[in-house]
Chain A
Amino acid sequence: MAETLTLLDYWPSMFGMRCRIALREKDIKFEYQEQDLWSKSPLLLEMNPIYKKIPVLIHNGKPICESLIIVEYIDETWKGKAPLLPSDPYERAQARFWADYVDKKIYEGGRNVWSTTGEDQGEAKKEYIERLKVLEGVLGDKPFFGGDSFGFTDIALIPYYSWFYSYEICANFSIEAECPKLISWAKRCMEKESVSESLPDPEKIYMLLLELKKKAGK
């Protein structure tokens, strides 16, 4: 049976970007299907009935949901090339811990920065930078979170780089000024084709954000 691989995705989604990067790291051919989140397709609703969200990876008709679960699935199924997780159990636990930290602290933190104003936004900015600095500390002087090779935690975090521009404009601050090492790391990641092909133009994300804000009447 010919293998089929489809990614149901939405172009500005950080979660979708993680899956795109993982597939490209492994050099796997897949069909990208752009989803309209305001008018969800029957396929999306069938493949992810619990959450009705993207990304969903459909492998030979079987759906896998939740971005980090998808990335681990990709790593375990296509073992031959570019391991995304380290082999040492302790290092694996660390990689998973920091990817989980990104999910718990960075997504919401960023949303608070662009969606608030005034004093609330000031607080949100401060909190966000603190959280980014924690990650900067974890990175240290290593080229990637995984050490010498690009891996799981890098994949979890790098999609947010495409959104930094939007946060900076909305809240009038420079992430590079506060976290220079993190931005160096991000630029290093962007040198990889798997990353640069998977992240949209930050300006396009900003235009979308303005549109979404207008729709929400903000």
Chain B
Amino acid sequence: MAGDAVKLLGAWPSPVVMRARIALNLKSVGYEFVEENLGNKSQLLLQSNPVHKKIPVLIHGDKPVCESLIIVQYIDEVWSSGPGILPSDPYDLATARFWAAYIDDKWFPSLTGIAKAQDDGAKKAAIEQVSEGLALLEDAFRKCSKGKTFFGGDRVGYLDIAFGCFLGWLRVTEKMNGVELISRSKTPQLAQWAERFCADPAVKDVMPETDKLAEFAKVLFAKFKNPPSQ
């Protein structure tokens, strides 16, 4: 079963797609990456994820797995002989899942809130919210890493993947708004972790370059400010 062909439907700017790619890289699993055009979704995508019609979708053999964090867990469980991604202790695992959910439900939406802010006051408030979240995550890092390099300890793990995938977009947001969100002065642990994460062999080839992402972002954010009439 682990030997069946692996296909990943995704798009290069998508942080959640990166989660699946990092996990596959950590396990040294070869896969075919299918770049989707989100303005014109492929039949394969619509068939493989009829419920949400979203990327990423992992197709293993002929079986689709959807939702990025579910995909990461699936990868860890199928290729179980490779380096472990999820913490083995149930309490550490529950903690990692909690923060991954917080990042998806609260933190990342607050980051996109900066781009969506319609005026300077709203933007300032949005930036404040993101910074508050980062302070919580700095604290979470201290507790989860237990003095080691990553949230997961010595190696990139579940929470590193869940959070680290957003670093590209975080850098773009910093650049476009002239702010420092993760910095050595405000979030020293996260600043060090971010550098190490982005340099990790499983990450560096799939993390988009900030400039390329910034160009893409400009087009995307223009749509936020002038939403096309439905």
Contact = CB atoms under 8 A, between A and B. Distances in A.
Contact of A69 (B65, B74, B94): B94
A76 B80 CA distance: 17
B224 interface: no
A62 interface: yes
A50 B65 contact: no
A69 B98 CA distance: 7
Given A66-B98, A66-B101, A89-B77, A73 B93 contact: yes
Interface residues of A, number: 21
B93 A50 contact: no
Contacts of B102: 50
B91 A90 contact: no
Given A69-B101, A100-B67, A101-B51, A90 B94 contact: no
B230 to A, nearest CB: 16
A26 interface: no
Given A73-B90, A101-B51, A66 B77 contact: no
A72 B94 contact: yes
B74 A64 contact: no
Nearest to B80: A89
Given A50-B136, A90-B63, A134-B51, A97 B94 contact: no
Contacts of A52: none
Contact of A65 (B51, B65, B93, B98): B98
25 contacts: A50-B102, A59-B91, A62-B91, A64-B98, A66-B97, A66-B98, A69-B94, A69-B97, A69-B98, A70-B94, A72-B94, A73-B90, A73-B91, A73-B93, A76-B93, A89-B74, A89-B77, A90-B60, A92-B74, A93-B73, A96-B73, A97-B66, A97-B67, A100-B67, A101-B51
